[in-house]
Amino acid sequence: MTISDLQNAQVLLLAAVLLAACLAKLTIRAPVADVPDHVHGVPVPARLRRATALRSSRGLNVGLGVGEGALGLALLLSPHLSVRIATTVAFAAATWAVGELRVHRPDAGCGCFGGLSAKRVGRRSVARAALFTGAGVVSLTAPHAGLAVLRHDAAQVWPVLVLELAVFAAISPELSAPLDRRGLRTRPPVPCGRRLSPLAETYATLHDSPAWLAYENVLASAVPLDVWREGCWRFVVYPARVDGRPMEAVFAVSTAARDREVKAVLLAPERPEPPDLPADGRTQEEHTDGRASADAADVDAAEAEVEDTGESRTIGSGVV
């Protein structure tokens, strides 16, 4: 196995991927999905909504499929450097686009393989596009076109090509789409009350929500007073001040996997109830201290009376 064999294997890999993407885009229609105004409680910018609608259009998918098919055929037929550069740039642009979708519209799907790529955009989709970009960089100096490699060096490149295709299949979420379409594979979603929701996810959802923007200016501290979870909601309480009065801003953040909501309300802080005071206004401790002082005074008076009585009896008996 030489460096040239490794480079030639990348040419075949990229050609196969591009032709497969072309075939999928031309034959499998992506499901038509509504473009929401909010995602996870965050308003979707108008330009991003237009871009999502454009990506879902049939005409754009057909155009992309034709372009990918042309690049795949060019890799098989021509060893020209311009073909390799165009392929590498295309995969680099796809990596950027998939990364943006994962951040802003993960629910829309990447559309990399037409209707098969309707699943939520995750790390695997971004990693796959990045690996293909790396393969394009390696293939820049490959000595042969794809068909020439198949004619002359197939035995040397097949082991590498099979290994790379196996890795590609392992990180591709599209392989389960045909099973899902036929109802052969169903995985019930985890209920939001039992779903593992990291605290970092809650804070990210909260800080990107309209509710946070509405109450951010009245918060007195960025450190929450209390955080707890009840079922499908996690509650976060912050100290606030409105018109000079102390308040508490209570945020309820959904723990669902998709379309999380954030609700907020301002409440007056709970204060401890004052103790019940007697009619004279003194506290229980003051009454207790007063009774103790009175009891001590009574004891002193009784002792003094006993001493006086004893002295009188002594004088009366004639003892001087």
190-209 pLDDT, tens digit per residue, is 788 888 888 989 999 999 99
CB 238 within 8 A of CB 248: yes
The rounded percent of the chain whose pLDDT value lies above 90 is 22
The rounded percent of the chain whose pLDDT value lies above 70 is 69
Confidence label for 283 from pLDDT (cuts 50, 70 and 90) = low
Residues 78-89 have pLDDT tens digits of 888 999 999 999
CA–CA distance, 59 with 72 (Å, rounded to integer): 20
Q: Buried b / exposed e across 122-144, counting CB within 10 Å, b at 16+?
A: eeebbebbbbbbebbebbeebeb
Residues 37-51 have pLDDT tens digits of 544 444 555 555 555
DSSP 125-163: HHHHHHHHHHHHHHGGG-SS-HHHHHHHSHHHHHHHHHH
| Predicted TM-score (pTM) of this structure | 0.50
Mean pLDDT of 111-132: 80
Which of 92, 95, 119 minimizes the C-alpha distance to 107? Answer: 119
CB 75 within 8 A of CB 15: yes
CA–CA distance, 58 with 31 (Å, rounded to integer): 10
Please say if the pLDDT value at position 171 is more than 90.
Answer: no
Q: Which of 48-52, 111-115, 139-143, 258-262 has the lowest mean pLDDT?
A: 48-52
CA–CA distance, 140 with 131 (Å, rounded to integer): 15
